[in-house]
Amino acid sequence: MELLYEFWSNTGYYLVDPRNLVMIVVGCVFVYLAIAKEYEPLLLLPIGFGILVGNIPFFKGFGIGIYEPNSMLHYLYFGVTSGVYPSIVFLGLGAMTDFSSLLAMPRLMLLGAAAQMGIYVTLLGALGFGFMLNEASSIAIIGGADGPTSIFLTAKLAPHLIGPIAIAAYSYMALIPLIQPPIMRLLTTKKERVIHMPEMRPVSRLERLMFPVVGLILCCFLAPASIPLLGPFFFGNIMKESAVVDRLAKTASSAIIDTATIFLGFTVGASTQADVFLTPKSVGIFVLGAVAFSIATASGVLFAKIMNLCLKQKINPLLGAAGVSAVPGSAREVHLVGQKEDPSNYLLMHAMACNSSGVIGSAICAGILWSFNMM
Amino acid sequence: MYGFEAISHHNGWAMAIAGALIVMAGLSVLSFIISQLHRVVELIEGRGKKKLGRIPPEVDTAREAPQAAPLDADELKTRYAPLAEELGGTFKLTHLYEIAGAHDMPHIHLSIRSLRAAGVLVPEADGVFKWQQ
């Protein structure tokens, strides 16, 4: 009988805390959104299931939980805390990205820069809310709408906040179809939304080959702290464009990025143990994350409108919203909003140009913020 | 410490302004340089051609004589009708665009726009279009 009681006292049913149940519900919502609504399923499914795994109550000290040394989850989580997974994801991302549209219309890169303003406004907001500088910087990077970059910077500056920041960043990326369109419509007129973009010039192979080298040198000389992200990113891209290492490029853009995404999502989800995750700070992070994402979208759109004051050939201001680096979600959303107004308006390629410059921009911002924190 | 006091204490204003300016300046410079890349490419390719000297350049007939845009609505209708039929009663323009691309149709944007202007592609609700026989 005593044996049975001891066994019972070690079960999750006995050890359960109401906060675990809250997190299990959150995990189920993520899984539901991923499967039923298909909101960023590649991210939400691993994270959602990870949340379920991370919130099963267990007897501490057996080396089971993600925060316990020697546990299997702890070893997998090392890839997050060391910043290895984000770098691998960037390698794959580079091998998947076609910069032709950006090379054909380089002025769209400015929209990727403008959309990073959300990061700096949120930095001020987070400091004003009483967060320390390292925490505020990690929260601010959510405005870049780039999950791996957010995780990377947080792992370096405020590892204790990885769970809430990663969940906030990926949640807002998944909720792009709900967050961005109202902001785009609010800040643009119908006349602006139906602006057609010119067809792009063909880009030579040599240009596409030169870009990763030029991009790496310029960006990493400016913010060397972004090397762990931009180094693999441009390396992945030159593998793709060189066409001499097709096998490597294909592996980087499929098996490698997929493996990193699985472990990244799953372990980030599992890191949301209720006792660590459900704190007032997490609530603040979610609020500030939403603000960061909204300001990033708005600043991209407004900057496009400002550019139009000086340009002969107007830019569709919706493209500014794709300046955040949520690839390809925000580009797709810009295209859909443009098509709702005029079904013959094709903005996808132009939006992808802004999107890819947003990826570079947010990685530079991460490097800048990391440098500021080291001073 | 909260509010403006906290921001000033952590030198937040300077960091935010400097950070925003650095990323804007960095990407502006990158944007300017990549806007000039095609000139560098022309220069490199020009030299390459000079070196080749007497070797006659390969004639890319497809580039030299691009197929003229079939802007005549009737001709476009004849060309696009089988594609529309393949897509069914109603379809999204993106699907028509994709299928036209797969069939190597020239000037797809322009053609679809002309078909719309000619009233051959009629918009329905929810962003789908109908082929007007």
pLDDT score for B97: 82
**Which residues are registered as beta bridge partners of B130?**
B90, B122
Q: Does the structure show a pLDDT above 80 at B89?
A: no
What angle (nearest 5°) sits at the alpha carbon of residue A117, between those of residues A111 and A122?
150
Q: Does the structure show a pLDDT above 50 at B132?
A: yes
Instruction: Indicate yes or no: CB of A361 within 8 angstroms of CB of B27.
Output: yes
Q: Greatest CA span in chain A, whole angstroms? A: 85
- Higher pLDDT residue, B77 or A72? A72
Tell me which residue has tokens 């050890």: A15
pLDDT score for A374: 87
CB burial class (10 A; 0-12, 13-18, 19+) of residue A134?
buried
Contacts of B20 in chain A (CB under 8 A): 116-117, 120
Sheet hosting strand B90-92, strand order edge to edge: B90-92, B128-131, B121-123
Instruction: Indicate yes or no: CB of A113 within 8 angstroms of CB of B23.
Output: yes
Strand (E) or helix (H) holding B5: helix B3-9
CA A255 to chain centre: 20
Q: How far away is chain B from the Cα of A328, in angstroms, using its nearest Cα?
A: 17
Q: Does the structure show a pLDDT above 50 at B33?
A: yes
Tell me which residue has tokens 């990407």: B27
CB burial class (10 A; 0-12, 13-18, 19+) of residue A141?
buried
Task: Provide the terminal-to-terminal Cα distance of chain B, rounded to the nearest Å.
Answer: 71
Please, are residues A141 and A149 in contact by the beta-carbon 8 Å criterion?
yes
CA A24 to chain centre: 23
Task: Provide the terminal-to-terminal Cα distance of chain A, rounded to the nearest Å.
Answer: 62
- Structure tokens, A363: 């990685």
Instruction: Indicate yes or no: CB of B31 within 8 angstroms of CB of A109.
Output: yes
Strand (E) or helix (H) holding B131: strand B128-131
pLDDT tens, N- to C-terminus, chain A (375 residues)? 888 888 888 888 988 889 999 999 999 999 999 999 888 888 899 999 999 999 999 887 788 888 888 889 999 999 999 999 999 999 999 999 999 999 999 999 999 999 999 999 999 999 999 999 999 999 999 988 888 999 999 999 999 899 899 888 888 888 888 899 999 999 999 999 999 998 888 888 999 999 999 999 999 999 999 999 999 999 999 999 999 999 999 999 999 999 999 999 999 999 988 888 888 888 889 889 898 889 999 999 999 999 999 988 899 999 999 998 888 889 999 999 999 988 888 899 999 999 999 999 999 999 999 999 988
Q: Does the structure show a pLDDT above 60 at B52?
A: no
Instruction: Indicate yes or no: CB of A364 within 8 angstroms of CB of B26.
Output: yes
Measured from the Cβ of residue A200, the count of other Cβ atoms closer than 10 Å reads 15
Burial A319-330 (b: 16+ CB within 10 A, else e): bbbbbbbbbbbb
Tell me which residue has tokens 């998947």: A96
Measured from the Cβ of residue A300, the count of other Cβ atoms closer than 10 Å reads 34
Instruction: Indicate yes or no: CB of B27 within 8 angstroms of CB of A109.
Output: yes
| CB pairs A-B closer than 8 Å | 132
Range of lowest pLDDT (A91-100, B28-37, B86-95): B86-95
- Structure tokens, A199: 């067809």
Please, are residues A153 and A366 in contact by the beta-carbon 8 Å criterion?
yes
Instruction: Indicate yes or no: CB of B112 within 8 angstroms of CB of A368.
Output: no
pLDDT score for A153: 95
Contacts of B62 in chain A (CB under 8 A): none
pLDDT score for B53: 55
Q: Does the structure show a pLDDT above 50 at B62?
A: no
Q: Does the structure show a pLDDT above 80 at B48?
A: no
pLDDT score for B55: 52
In percent, the amount of chain B with pLDDT more than 90 equals 25
pLDDT score for A200: 84
Amino acid at residue number A176:
I
* CA-based nearest residue in chain B for residue A134: B10
pLDDT score for B94: 79
Q: Does the structure show a pLDDT above 90 at B51?
A: no
The residue ranges of every structural domain in chain A are: 69-374
Which of 122-161 (A) contact B at CB < 8 A?
A: 123-124, 127-130, 132-133, 136
Instruction: Measure the CA–CA gap between A357 and A344, rounded to whole angstroms.
Output: 25
